Amino acid sequence: MITLVFLLLYGNFQPPGVSALHCLQPFVPENGHVIFNEPGPYAPGTIAKYSCALGFERVGAGERTCRRDGQWTGSAPACAIDIVANKPCEQSSGTPSPLSRGVCTITDNESRSWWEVDLLGTYSVHSLSVRLGPQSSSIANIEMELDNGHLEYCVLPTHDYLNTTLSIPCAHQNVAKIRIIGTNRLQLCEMKAFATDAVSYWQCAQGAMEVIGVFDGMCYSASKEEQTDWLGAQRKCLDRGASLPIRMTETSRRGLQSALSAINTRKAFYWIGASSSVSDWRWADGEKIGDGADWPSEEPPIPGASEAVLLARPLDWRWVPASQSAWNAFLCQSKPKFCTSPGVGEATKVVFSSHSYAIGTYCFYACEEGYEMEGERQRQCEENGRWSGNIPTCHKKNCGEPEPWTQGTIRILNGSTLYQSEVEYVCFAGYQLLGDSKRVCQADGTWSGATPGCIEFDCGRPPNVANGMVFVDSTTFESMANYTCNHGYRLIGPDAIFCGEKSVWEPSAPFCYDISSLREIKPEPGSSSATTSESNILLALLAVLLVSLLVMAYSSNVIYATPSIPTRPDSVVYYAASCQPLAQMEVPPHLLSLQQLPNGNIHVTLPIGRPLVRPALPTFAPVSPTPSQILYSFDHEPIYDIPPDGIEIRKEENYYEHMDNPISRSPMTSASGSQQALLPSGSPMPPPPPIRYFPT
């Protein structure tokens, strides 16, 4: 079984010591462009500024910044067109007013009044912009009718939005109609629906004329001040890469009627591409009009000689015949000439067969290294002014989970197995890694290197001990080495050590100490404290208090004991001869507590069942410490202990205790009852140890 441990990185976290990452190409929406304040690759702090093609509005933030983790802040905006403008509208009561003229449309005060717009096609709606008038009730709902008749709904804000332009995110595909429903009276002053797959008037390339709408993929333009006869109008349209409107569908007829009603024009008639023949009415290309006519009456008028068709304002822009020689304004019908920018996905590159984005241009997409594409690699600018297909996306390649590894744990360091992710191998306790501990997901979707292995720890042979032996069966993890001492020696420290996780024997090896070098200080037989001391022999044998020694190199017969000697009669102290080299002493931890002092000594603490009370500090005069007191001070604890009773401190002597032979020492009892070891009278004085002097 494989064990995976995920270590997730959140937000903008950057591990210490890791350099900042560069950002790749950010997402650019269709119909949009982006420029940078720094050349690529985009370092942290680089700003991407978005703009949209002519005729498109930016919906969303205009800037994004490259972060230190290699990601861009926020999300890319959308470049969209208002598809409600100049489209036919209806409402539950009253006459709808064209919102494009800046006037409000209002219904009667009725329950669930509504307003509806026919988009005359299907669009990918991104969001809405709505403003209600002061006489309006609240919006009960906003419905989007799809081309299949299914209804989708927008999520409305909860706050009051009367007399306020409100942006409502409401993204749906294949939207054909939009309906706003009020609780009662509805007064609508602004309504925009932004779509990303619409065609802008700029793409029609009719600069000399006024583009009034794009219906069924065709651009319709009206002459501004020009007027001419029917044949002249046909020539002018042809000169502009267009023709008089022909073969109009019901959608284009409704679109033209709505657009001509909405624009501010003084013209009452416009030529279209229909004329009379000997017996019927035909389009300018010679095809019969048939059911495509839009006469005011059911029966078409009898065609006269040299007549053509006008769109007439007095008839709500329906058809009327007129002589071809009459001078009137005219409409032209054309296809879009260009596409806008096709957009590019994140970590994606795109090249074009023509930088003019003319109809027929191809664009080719490719992903950055380590990414793979989802979608079509090639798109074409089609005759309707839109690019085929959708913007492909590039995703980081996924190396998948590493192959099962039974020798330890695999950590997925950043919570994924995508390109540039890392995994770390950790062996089970007692084993060490053989090979690289980390592997990286490479650009080709495979993990770098090979799966490492684990070998068992080997601590090697345990340390030998002088005057003793060590027994070991194995030197691998958790193996045990047992120590024994030769006859006449005592084991100081643990009798067994173990091979630990760091391939080291733990704890430190013990040592064997000569028993004859240890002498116990006992009271004289029959003394008042002998009984008490003898009753505690068992305790003394179980707990040995080791004291740190100051040994003078030029004296082998003198030792100086630390002043922290217990004064209780049930305590037993052992002294070691100074001739024995003591580098380090260890005792079982459940008996002793050791502390290494700054001066190199070892501070030993032994609990004996009853607390040891330190005598009160005496008052010395003068205040400056005496040489004897100096000997009782420590670097880590500058406290002056009282010298033991019965010792006469002479000014020329700067030591606490001295003896010519530790074996011949005999304990004496002071007046205070404490036991002290004194030198026999007449013994030569040892040289004094170094003394720290304090300024007086």
pLDDT digits (tens, 9 = 90+) for 38-76: 887 899 999 999 999 999 999 999 999 999 988 999 999
Q: How confident is the model at residue 82 (pLDDT cuts 50, 70, 90)?
A: very high
Query: Which domain range does residue 449 map to?
Result: 408-456
Same domain as 603, residue 473: no
* Position 574 pLDDT exceeds 90: no
For residue 539, is pLDDT > 80?
Answer: no
Cis peptide upstream of residue 618 (ω within 30 degrees of 0) = no
Per-residue confidence band for 356, with pLDDT thresholds at 50, 70 and 90: confident
Q: Is residue 142 part of a domain?
A: yes
Nearest to 342 by CA among 389, 384, 375: 389
Domain-ending residue, one of 170, 195, 220: 195
Res. 600 pLDDT band, cuts 50 70 90: low
Judgement on whether residues 480 and 626 belong to the same structural domain of the protein: no
Residue 439, domain CATH = 2.10.70.10
Average pLDDT value over all residues in the chain: 77
Distance from C-alpha of 574 to C-alpha of 567, rounded to nearest angstrom: 14
Say if 55 falls within a structural domain: no
| Across 43-57, 337-351, 436-450, 654-668, least confident range | 654-668
Confidence band, pLDDT 50/70/90 cuts, at residue 549:
very low
Please check whether residues 480 and 546 belong to one and the same domain. Answer: no
Percent of the chain with pLDDT over 90: 51
Co-location of 330 and 299 in the same domain: yes
Whether 67 is in a domain gets the answer no
Residues 6+ apart with CB under 8 A from 546: 574, 585, 587, 592, 602, 604
Is 43 among the domain residues?
no
* Mean pLDDT, residues 322-348: 94
CATH of the domain at 131: 2.60.120.260
Residue 240 has pLDDT above 60, yes or no: yes
451-477 confidence digits (pLDDT tens) = 999 988 888 889 988 888 999 888 888
Q: Tell me: do 446 and 485 sit in the same domain.
A: no
Domain count, the chain: 6
What letter represents residue 457's amino acid? F
CATH code (residue 214): 3.10.100.10
How confident is residue 548, by pLDDT bands cut at 50, 70 and 90?
very low
Q: Is the pLDDT of residue 382 over 80?
A: yes
| Residues 650 and 687 reside in one and the same domain | yes
Q: What is the pLDDT of residue 391?
A: 94
- Does 425 fall in a domain? yes
Residue 391 covered by a domain:
yes
Q: Is residue 132 part of a domain?
A: yes
Residue of 506 and 17 predicted with greater confidence: 506
Residues 248-298 pLDDT 10s: 999 999 999 999 988 877 899 999 999 998 888 999 999 999 888 999 988
- Tell me the C-alpha distance between 482 and 692, whole Å: 45
Tell whether 463 is covered by a domain: no
pLDDT at 594: 55
DSSP 590-636: TT-EEEE-TTS-EEEE---SSPPPPPPPPP-SSSSPPHHHHHT--SS
- Looking at the structure, tell me whether residues 675 and 593 fall in a common domain: yes
**Confidence band of 392 (pLDDT split at 50, 70, 90):** very high
**CA distances (Å), origin 162, targets 90, 130, 133, 467, 524:** 21, 10, 6, 99, 109
Q: Cα separation of 130 and 253, whole Å?
A: 27
Which residues, other chains included, contact 32 with Cβ-Cβ below 8 Å and sequence gap of 6+?
Answer: 50, 51, 52, 53, 56, 58, 76, 77, 78, 79, 341, 343
pLDDT at 87 over 70: yes
Q: Do 664 and 559 fall within a single domain? A: yes
Same domain as 569, residue 497: no
- Same domain, yes or no, for 693 and 566? yes
Confidence of residue 488 (pLDDT cuts 50, 70, 90): confident
> What is d(CA 383, CA 218) in angstroms, rounded to the nearest whole number?
9
Reported as a pLDDT band with limits 50, 70 and 90, residue 431 is confident
Nearest-angstrom CA–CA distance, 170 and 153: 8
Same domain (yes/no): 556, 685 = yes
Q: Are residues 607 and 679 in the same domain?
A: yes
